[in-house]
Structure 1
Amino acid sequence: MNGTTALLFALTLAVGAGVGFFLRKKLIEGNQADIEKQRLLIIENAIHEAEQIKKEKLLQVKEEIYQSKNEAELEIKNSRKNIENEQRRLERKLDKVHEELNDLKDKETDLTSRERKLTAKEQTVVERENEAKLLIVEQQQKLEKIAGVSCDEAKRLLIESIESEARMDAAKRLTRIENEMKLEADRKGKNILALAIARYAGDYVADKTVSMVPLPNDEMKGRIIGREGRNIRAIEAATGIDIIIDDTPEAVILSGFNPIRREIARQSLLQLISDGRIHPARIEEVVAKVTHDLDVEIKEAGEKATFDVGVHGMHVDLINLIGRLKYRSSYGQNILQHSLEVAFLCGVMAAELGIDVKKAKRAGLLHDIGKAVDHEVEGSHAVIGRDLAKKYGEREDIVYAIGAHHEDQPPQSVLDVLVQSADALSGARPGARKEMLQSYVKRLEDLEKIANAFAGVEKSYAVQAGRDLRIIVNSQQVGDDAATLMSRDIAKAIEEQLTYPGQIRVTVIRETRAVEYAK
């Protein structure tokens, strides 16, 4: 209200000042009476407007006060409602707490009662336990008196008995486990060998110590011999191979143990026959050219072999030696084909055993590398191959596997045994190696002869093409242990006295028969 009055007072002063100014002006310009009338009229109008403004402001203030009062009442009402709701919720919680407190009191009472009962039972159990101990002591004393053995002595005897039984049981289980492991190892080994054989099938190139060169006609024989035999002597001197010209129609025979020289002589002679110019100078020229071409072919054969097997980083001289194996043979089996087959078999078995496949293939490919030079260097091909591989920077385990594949040194790792097994598989497969019938029959006879020389042998049979020697012994003269020793002695005698490809299994059979006749 004070604010409104001040506002009205200020408005009145402003209006009065304006009116005063207006009146002074009118007094100067015109009629004083008119000015007075106008002044009064203006003052009345100003007062009327001021009263009107005052009323409007009072109404506005009253409306605002009324609205604020309504809002305050509504807020108070909502607050009271919330307080009432919260109070009811707290009352419900308080009731629930009282109920839970009553439940806890009931449970506490129950637990106290149970505790008293358990305490009483525990006391009863302790009393009974003491009584049982007294009874046990009494019974123990009675038993010791009856048995004549003290309690400690009885415990010791019982422990010794149990320990002895446990030792016997452990020994039986150990023997059973050992036999099972042997059978499992034998089965697993056979499976791996069979899988390796089944997954690889190689071709064989039969090679001989002689080569036959066809001629267009028999007159060519005279041209090969030349005047006073100068042409044939020039060919033999240039190649180191003997040329046999006999009654064989339209053919000459080249004889020599070195297959590479024999191949050089064969290709040279074919080119000379095709060319028609046969004289010493031309012979030397052709032999030199064929030798160079064959060296290139040997290198390509070695590179192809390493590529087929998947070995890399091999010394170039080793690659050339591998290529030379293409013209070498053993028991009619081409050595390069044999080496490739051994490499693949090693890879298959290594994959089955979970060892390095590339390393196994590398050792298998190089295992017979000594046969490429064994006519030029003294010693077995395994030792020569080992030295060559070491010379050209092969890894130590591969070098050792090469030297151990014919047991020139004892096997020390799985890789050594793999190479041995793959070599035996490749050589022992049917058709892999060829022998003359007489030498084959003689080897079977020698096997049976060696077996029959041992005391207690009744019969012996060389079966499986001489790969398996089965011996039947007299059960009265040879026991089980002696049969085991006999198989080892016969195998050792075969190794010392015979030369054979692959390996020979010696089986000693001992049986006891009980015969009775029902009459």
Structure 2
Amino acid sequence: MDSTAIGIIAVIVGLAIGFIIAKFLEKGKASKIVLNAKKEATRIIKDANVEGENIKKDKIFQAKEKFLELKAEHEKVIIGKDKKIAEAEKRTRDKESQISSELAKNKKLSDQLEEQLKEVEYKSEFFDKKQSELDRLHKNQVQQLEVISGLSADEAKSQLLESLKETAKSDAMSYMQATLEEAKLTAQQEAKKIIINTIQRIGTEEAVENCVSVFNLESDDVKGRIIGREGRNIRALEAATGVEIVVDDTPEAIILSCFDSVRREVARLSLHKLVTDGRIHPARIEEIVKKTEKQIEQEIVEIGKRTVIDLGIHGLHPELIRAVGRMKYRSSYGQNLLQHSREVAKLCGVMAAELGLNTKMAKRAGLLHDIGKVPNSEAEMETPHAILGMQWAEKYGEKPEVCNAIGAHHDEIEMKNLIAPIVQVCDAISGARPGARRQVLDSYIQRLKDLEDIAFGFGGVQKAYAIQAGRELRVIVESEKVTDDKAAELSFEISQKIQTDMTYPGQVKVTVIRETRAVNVAK
């Protein structure tokens, strides 16, 4: 064997020995890994058992809490049902008690009815006996009359009918003749009443224009805000302006009622500002009304200035300019006072020019002739407007010719210059032209007040309203004090009182309203 073979054998033997050694080392390492894996598995199992026990305890605790919650809800439902059952039992007992009481009342009424029926039956039998006895006596009397008169009942009846026919015919003819004569006498008077009543109906439109303004709204929702809680806003507005505010079923509109057109305009502008701003409460209302009053005063002055500038009048005292501006908010016999005064001033200027007189002075007197119709106080209202206007003109430095023309345009003082008759004539022309004046406003207002005062003079009257331009008086009475029969009697008494105490065109219808209300509260 050569050395090469021996080397190869040695290498093979070395490799085999190395392989065997590697196998032994690998087997030891695997045993160690298996041992570590078993230890890790044991630890994981132990941790899993502990975690499982914790989860089990948590679930048991949650289950107990849920059980207690459900138990509490169940008890609450049971208590609610018990309470409802108790209330139902109480209502049932109350109804049973009420039914028992009603049954007792019905039994008592039934007993009373039976007694009354027995009494009625007894009276009916007694009446039948009396009727039969009366028929027997009547028959005997008829027989006796036939024997005495020698006539049968039918013959006597026919003679009586003939006599009654002649008498009735004569009476009918006399009544017809008297009726015709009365109709002839009263036909003219009735025709006048119809015409006057028709004319009076025409006055309604002018009265409404002078006493009422309509405030338009975007929607009816604003009405509730204007009224306010328990009506505090509308009461504050009425107290601040002195204007009656009527909120009714008129769609998207509120009615402002007042005889003073300045106050009515203040209320209208204040309402417009409040609705536009959106803040509506008593303090805000008073603030807005005060600002509006200042604005109206400024507007009055501006109107007066524009008027005198348009007419070419210069050097007028500021107080007289203010009085001219206030005339815009007054009416005279249904005619706007400022328009009337402007018209008189222009007519005076034209007429003075034709006569070769001072046109500026004539215009001045024509513009100022009715300033006394816008007094500043109650005391001044007692003075005739011509005299009051003359006193103002003298006070504020107007010339004697102008003062005399103002005071004399109703012949209350003597005319001392040619301007005075011109003013008087132009005032008559402006008022007398067709369509200028339709209704005497002052007398109209006074008549409405008198109608309402007469109604308030009777007992039991709660409210009274003169409507339809004074052609109807609507009276609301207290139902506790005035019965239905008394209401009819009251209507007649008020109409008689109006007829004897007042002078008025046409007729006045008196309507008495008695309202009964039954109010209960459901609890």
TM-score scaled to structure 1, two decimals? 0.44
Larger Rg: 1
TM-score scaled to structure 2, two decimals? 0.43
